[in-house]
Amino acid sequence: MKSAKKSKSMGILKRLACLLALTGIFHAPLQAHNGPDDGYAHDKNGKLVLDSRGDCIKTSRWTAETAIPKCEGIMEAKVTDADQDGVADNGDKCPGTPAGVMVDATGCAKDSDKDGVIDSADNCPGTASGVAVDNSGCKLVIAATAPKDSDNDGIADLSDQCPDTKAGANVDSRGCELKQSFVLEGVNFVTGSDEITGASMSVLDDVAETLIRNGDINVEVRGYTDDRGAADFNQSLSQKRAESVRAYLQSSGVAAGRMQAKGYGEFDPIGDNSTSAGRAMNRRVQLHIIE
């Protein structure tokens, strides 16, 4: 009799324990395994056991350190990376980066040499700081702007002393039209010889430049003297001086075939031989353009 009553009582207690466990009033040790989250009841398959309210059932082993966020009502934030560049959206300063573009820690396209062109489009990586680059990341080459030459005579306006030269005219280094015959002012020689003075060379350099630029003209280099001394000597000296000038111009790049040298001695004075100033004018070298 007592045995039957005892058996009946045990059955009632078991049912009561199950009921209490389901209502959350009594925390039954239902975990089927041990683990880092065994502060909560688990079934034999390791799944969390929930009470009638859908809450996790804590066990006597529960501690704050082993708490499961979702069991405590804490929702884990979902990390998203919309452009899939490896940087989460909440830290991505450049959302929408195209696929395949290498990015830095902020999610922006890498520009390792800081030249303004991203690495994936940079054909010249490692450009030095401060160097201007083109769209490909390479050093920008700026074409030199040709100086303005309004009359198209080959002499830039800034250096042209004769602007508005007529089209097709041959001009000297100043931009002025060449006359048929003109004296090479400033070209002098050591007295009694055909040696060109040092001060004369800069003048002859300009003459050479003019002849090179006007490659379609040929010239006769003419030498003259004053009337002092023997006429034969003056004739010979004028020839030698003309030849010295021709040789200098040739050494400066003017083709020899474009130049002739001829001495005229005392012939055709342009100054008064009775005065020192007049004689100085007569001791001259002229260029005469040959048609």
Q: How far apart are CA 83 and CA 238, in angstroms?
A: 90
In the predicted structure, residue 149 carries a pLDDT above the cut 80: yes
Tell the CATH topology of 181-290.
Answer: 60s Ribosomal Protein L30; Chain: A; (3.30.1330)
* Token couple for 71: 């069991």
Write down the domain spans for the chain.
2-72, 77-115, 181-290
How long is the chain? Answer: 291
Better-scored residue on pLDDT, 43 or 281: 281
Residue pLDDT, tens place only, 18-62: 444 444 444 444 433 445 557 888 888 888 888 888 888 888 888
Tokens representing 283 are 């001791």
Find which of 47-56, 137-146, 185-194 is predicted with most confidence, using mean pLDDT: 185-194
Whether 226 and 250 have beta carbons less than 8 Å apart is answered as no
- Report which listed range, 32-36, 170-174, 282-286, is most confident: 282-286
